[in-house]
Amino acid sequence: MSDMTINLKIWRQKNSTDSGRFEDYLLPGVNEHMSFLEMLDVLNEKLMKEGGDPVEFDHDCREGICGSCNMVINGRAHGPKHQTAACQLHMRNYNDGDTIVIEPPRAAAFPVIKDLVVDRSALDRIIEAGGYISVKTGAAPEANLIPVPQEVSNQAFDYATCIGCGACVAACPNSSASLFTGAKLSHLNSLPQGQPERDKRSIAMVNQMEKEGFGDCSNYAECEAVCPVGISISAIAQMRRDYMKAVF
């Protein structure tokens, strides 16, 4: 396949106080084998050669692990591919002459730092509110000393795969962080090691989520649909059960 020319409509915003606006860019020479972020690299090289300001976007591992590439592409968090982070999206999913609209995740709890980069430290504070696990650390115990049913182990691992990208917040009409909080909470609450602080952890993390300004969950399930690692909304149900038990 020959190289493509892509029309880009990208959100540009200097800082959190700037009103921001969309700017249009015409980018020729896009190869279908490029990743989405490599395409943005090519755009930035072009902008810098022309004396312009490169587009700020967040990234780190580029392997779908760190969750940094939390941009919204054509109205969908991480783009069109199911269970695929933006850094793992490739330009073969687009055609010559396509227009791609790229913007940051929109949520009051995610203030824009610059362009496509937002401050997701609210998610870190939710995790921090969970505190710690008081069981002894150090040398790993004999595996058979703490029996964990395979079903429980699998469920905890599925929840633990959350990469904290914030796609669930971006997709939710209420900007809820319930899927993120539910995954982080249910991961620990499912295992024997997490039981001593279970009630305290449940109350603290849910309260912190509300304090950060995230909206409530209304069971739209948009979060599950865009999650790049496929976390189920069963995590939200588990979080609600644990919170209600802890309170009452």
Q: What's the pLDDT at 135?
A: 73
Tally of domains within the chain: 2
Q: 166 lies in which domain range?
A: 121-247
Last residue of a domain, one of 113, 130, 147: 113
Burial class (CB in 10 A: 0-12, 13-18, 19+), 137: exposed
DSSP 8-state class, residue 35: B
Give me the CATH number covering residue 35: 3.10.20.30
Same domain, 102 and 176: no
Same domain, 50 and 72: yes
> How high does pLDDT run on average in the chain?
94
Same domain, 125 and 85: no
Would you tell me the crossing angle of helices 198-211 and 234-247 to the nearest 10 degrees?
110
pLDDT in tens, 15-32: 999 999 999 999 999 999
Last residue of a domain, one of 58, 84, 113: 113
Same domain, 77 and 150: no
Instruction: Look at residue 86 and tell me whether its pLDDT is greater than 80.
Output: yes
Same domain, 125 and 243: yes
- Reading the block at residue 115, the tokens are 């362009």
Helix (H, G, I), strand (E, B) or coil at 25: strand
Name the β-bridge partners of 27. Answer: 6
Q: What's the pLDDT at 1?
A: 55
Query: What does pTM read for this prediction?
Result: 0.92
Cβ-based neighbours of 194, under 8 Å, separated by 6 or more: 133, 187, 188, 201
Last residue of a domain, one of 64, 81, 113: 113
